[in-house]
Amino acid sequence: MPFTDMHDIFEKALAQYREQLEGKTFCVRVKRRGKHEFSSIEVERYVGGGLNQHIESARVKLTNPDVTVHLEVEDDRLLLIKGRYEGIGGFPIGTQEDVLSLISGGFDSGV
């Protein structure tokens, strides 16, 4: 979805994550691609501070939070990530192919 500034990013994140964050700890993680007048860390601080002020029962916890708010900023688009599913070794689900492996038992092995 398009956005205009950091406050617009905050408002969209608040609308998406309000119910999910109530009574829980959270942190904000941002990935940014393209040229912007702000850095990823500035967006994390702005959005995290706004969420902390507007959701009184939520608390910021940067290590091991209950909920991680994932945002991606691509040029003039904002992506709100609802869920992440990591496969083996952190790869996305569906990128691992089947593997056949032969393991030798040593010098006298028949393999």
Between strands 25-33 and 77-81, the pairing is unpaired
Structure tokens at 67: 């909920």
What are the pLDDT digits (tens) for 7-50?
A: 999 999 999 999 999 999 999 999 999 898 999 999 999 999 99
* Alpha helix (H) residue ranges in the chain: 6-21, 40-54
pLDDT the model gives residue 110: 62
C-alpha–C-alpha distance, residues 12 and 50, integer Å: 11
**Distance of alpha carbon 81 from its chain centroid, rounded?**
6
In b/e form, how buried is each residue of 82-93, taking b as 16+ CB within 10 angstroms? eeeeeeeeeeee
Residue 4 φ then ψ, to 5°: -110, -40
Confidence (pTM): 0.73
Superfamily of domain 6-86 in the CATH hierarchy: THUMP superfamily (3.30.2300.10)
Which pLDDT score, from 0 to 100, does residue 65 have?
A: 93
